[in-house]
């Protein structure tokens, strides 16, 4: 089983690349953003709670996110591996994920970060916001708040995974195919 954490700032291309990687490596794609958006659309209790944080550009609290991800993993018992997109975002989430996977005699194989400069990503998100309907992609102040959250809470994950020799950085600028090739090279070398 291969378990990959794909992370990067909002707009770095995680969702786009996840679509290619899940098919190529037969992974179950778990996107916290997609799961939250589904719950918001369906107006579930989790969705209502998540929306209060997302509308401000804040991260959803760990306890809610962790419970949701564990449930999604348990709903896919025959998976050949997971591609975590947007999770973990904090050290405590990473530790909770490690503990959960360990309880199933599994582990994170690697983390891959799509790297790009903030100014390029802001432009990407504002452009995406024109068609996505997502209010958090239409307001530059909210976008920059998300980057500040990322820098404060998510960037320390790099050191966490580097200490485990599981961190890989990939240039997230270029064509979709070029970025997919870079990611595939990293993943192919894990086996």
- Indicate whether 123 pLDDT > 80: yes
| The pLDDT value given to residue 5 | 95
Tokens representing 17 are 């690349």
Output the CA torsion 124→10→82→72 (10° steps): -120
Region of poorest pLDDT, from 12-26, 47-61, 96-110, 173-187: 47-61
Q: What pLDDT score was predicted for residue 135?
A: 83
Q: Tell me what the mean pLDDT of segment 32-61 comes to.
A: 82
User: What confidence score (pLDDT) does residue 191 get?
Assistant: 61
Q: Once rounded to an integer, what is the mean pLDDT over residues 83-87?
A: 89
The better pLDDT of the pair 116, 64 is held by 116
Mean pLDDT in residue range 166-188: 94
The answer, yes or no, to whether residue 43 has pLDDT greater than 70, is yes
User: Chain-wide mean pLDDT for the chain?
Assistant: 89
Phi, psi of 169 (to 5 degrees): -105, 135
User: Which of the residue ranges 24-28, 101-105, 113-117, 130-134 would you say has the lowest mean pLDDT?
Assistant: 130-134
The CA distances from residue 176 to 19, 63, 111, in Å, are 11, 34, 19
DSSP annotation of 18 reads: H
* Structure confidence at residue 56 (pLDDT): 86
Local confidence band at 33 (pLDDT 50, 70, 90 cut-offs): confident
What would the 3-class secondary structure string for 73-85 be? HHCCCCCCEEEEE
Give CA–CA dist 186/161, Å, rounded: 15
Sign of CA dihedral 53, 58, 61, 64: positive
Task: Give the list of residues 6+ apart from residue 18 with CB closer than 8 angstroms, or none.
Answer: 6, 29, 31, 83, 85
Q: Which CATH superfamily is domain 2-188 in?
A: P-loop containing nucleotide triphosphate hydrolases (3.40.50.300)
């Amino acid at each position: 089983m291969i378990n990959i954490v794909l992370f990067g700032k909002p707009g770095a291309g995680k969702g786009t690349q996840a679509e290619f990687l899940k098919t190529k490596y037969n992974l179950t794609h778990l996107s916290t953003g997609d799961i939250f958006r589904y719950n918001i659309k369906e107006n579930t209790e989790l969705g209502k709670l998540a929306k209060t944080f997302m509308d401000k550009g804040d991260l959803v609290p760990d306890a809610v996110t962790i419970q949701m991800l564990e449930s999604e993993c348990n709903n896919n018992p025959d998976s050949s591996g997971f591609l975590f997109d947007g999770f973990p975002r904090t050290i405590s989430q990473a530790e909770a994920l490690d503990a959960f996977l360990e309880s199933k005699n599994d582990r994170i194989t690697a983390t891959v970060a799509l790297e790009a400069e903030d100014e390029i990503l802001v432009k990407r998100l504002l452009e995406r916001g024109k068609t996505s309907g997502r209010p958090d992609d239409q307001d530059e102040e909210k976008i920059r708040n998300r980057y500040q959250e990322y820098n404060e809470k998510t960037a320390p994950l790099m050191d966490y995974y580097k200490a485990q020799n599981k961190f890989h950085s990939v240039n997230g600028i270029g064509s979709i195919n070029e970025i997919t090739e870079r990611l595939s090279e990293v993943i192919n070398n894990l086996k």
